[in-house]
Structure 1
Amino acid sequence: METTEKNKHVVLRFNKEVIEQGNQESFNELMHQKFINQSAPEGMDNGAQGMSYFFEQILRPALPDVKVTIHQQVAEGDLVTTRKTITGTHTGTLLDVEPTGRLVQIDVIDIVEVKDGKYLQHWGITSLPAVLSQLKQN
């Protein structure tokens, strides 16, 4: 398997095993020791622990049936760009928004730099702010 395909597989594994299934072993295996989340909100840990915290303490408790659908992946060199949708039922508090029981759909485009089969850097844009705003209105 060529490097770009291997890198795409690393990102696919992260989305399925870590985000969707909450597999901490896979998280530890797939995170480079020098990982930096370039899209971490100001004041939040931009290392691996901050990324883990977001999925395990914020996203998964709020959307326990979380599912990640990969729509498209494009890879060049060490970079993998993924267009995906994260869905789940809002049954727990999500960033101070009380549960609504509604289906939540978060659209995401992210770029991951993969080094030696691990996440080295991450950049991303997401519709989460718009989703939170909609949830607060209802």
Structure 2
Amino acid sequence: METMTENNKAVVRRFNKEVIEQGNIDSFNALIDDKFVNRSAPAGMDNGPQGMIWFFNEVLRPAMPDVSVAIHDQVAEEDMVTTRKTISGTQTGPLLGVAATGKKVNIEVIDMVRVKDGKYVEHWGITTLPELLASLAQA
């Protein structure tokens, strides 16, 4: 019998595979709560569900069509899942104002997700995206 924490980890793994890698909007809708809040959204960005899918499907995936997610570690306690992962791809399109470089890039991420009834309800994250953008802009 699977525990709540194992089920929650599976939700996060599914989100990373089906939403981030594949851009599957049906999976996004199935896995995100209507009242979802991204606590790490940059100032001025929509911190709800629409801001999250906008970033993945309108920013990240067009910049890196071959995007993949490698999950290195997951730790879960009660309704919280912490994941250490790498988002990788080839930057063949503009990424947040940085012109395409054709380079293979990696974004290191540690995120925490609160899962309730099989859906994301809150997210906090730390990424190396700012450092990556700075290095690409200098290239």
Give the root-mean-square deviation of aligned CA atoms.
Answer: 0.3
TM-score by length of 1: 0.99
Q: Aligned partner of 1:55: which letter? A: F
**1:7-27: CA deviation from partner (whole Å, max 9, x where unpaired):** 000000000000001100000
What stretches of structure 1 of length at least 5 have no aligned partner? none
- Aligned AA (1:42): A
**1:2 aligns to 2:3 (yes or no):** yes
Amino acid corresponding to residue 118 of structure 1 in structure 2 = K
TM-score, length of structure 2 as denominator length: 0.99
2: CA distance between counterparts of 1:45 and 1:131?
A: 22
- 3-state SS of the aligned residue for 2:42? coil
1:31-50 → structure 2 map (5 Å cutoff): 31-50=32-51
What is the count of residue pairs matched by the alignment?
Answer: 138
Tell me what 2:22 maps to: 21
Amino acid at match of 2:62: P
Structure 1 ranges of 4+ moved more than 3 A: none
- Partners of 2:97 and 2:123 in 1: how far apart? 25
Where does residue 119 of structure 1 map in the other structure?
120
1:57-68 aligned at under 5 Å gives the runs 57-68=58-69
- How far residue 33 of structure 1 moved from its aligned partner, in angstroms, is 1.2
In the alignment, which residue of structure 1 is the partner of 2:95? 94
Query: 2:129 matched to which residue of 1?
Result: 128
